[in-house]
Amino acid sequence: MNVALWILQAVLAALFAASGVQKLTRPREVLVAKYAWMQDTPPATVRVVAVAEMAAAVGLIAPAAIGTAPILTPTAAAGLVLMLALAAGLHVRRREPSGVAVTVVLLVVSAVVAWGRFGPYGW
């Protein structure tokens, strides 16, 4: 199970790092064309989301990999669960079923990592 959790952590970290970098580096017009929710969201909020995604990506891997404060790994996963629950609410409110589906899948994977690392497969 430890290997499976590491794989899930790595996949989540890669996805959220890529998403965060994209939101920070691409022009707003390009992002709005890809993510409809961004047209109603202030640019500062998008940047906060991007920074949170990148921090979570680092938090999922770095603390446990270097052995310093490994409690931050499940904490990062729990933070993603909270952020994804809010994102799912946004997509439900905007009536974006595909956004809800993707968000819920990522939420479940993040919850599994948080459960595993806080619980029976912690450090």
> pLDDT 10s per residue in the chain (123 long)?
899 999 999 999 999 999 999 999 999 999 999 988 999 899 999 999 999 999 999 999 999 899 899 999 999 999 999 999 999 999 999 999 999 999 999 999 999 999 999 988 876
| H or E stretch covering 32 | helix 28-34
The pTM is what?
Answer: 0.91
Reported as a single tens digit per residue, the pLDDT across 97-111 is 999 999 999 999 999
Q: What is the DSSP string of 52-114?
A: HHHHHHHHHHHHHHHTS-TTHHHHHHHHHHHHHHHHHHHHHHTT-HHHHHHHHHHHHHHHHHH
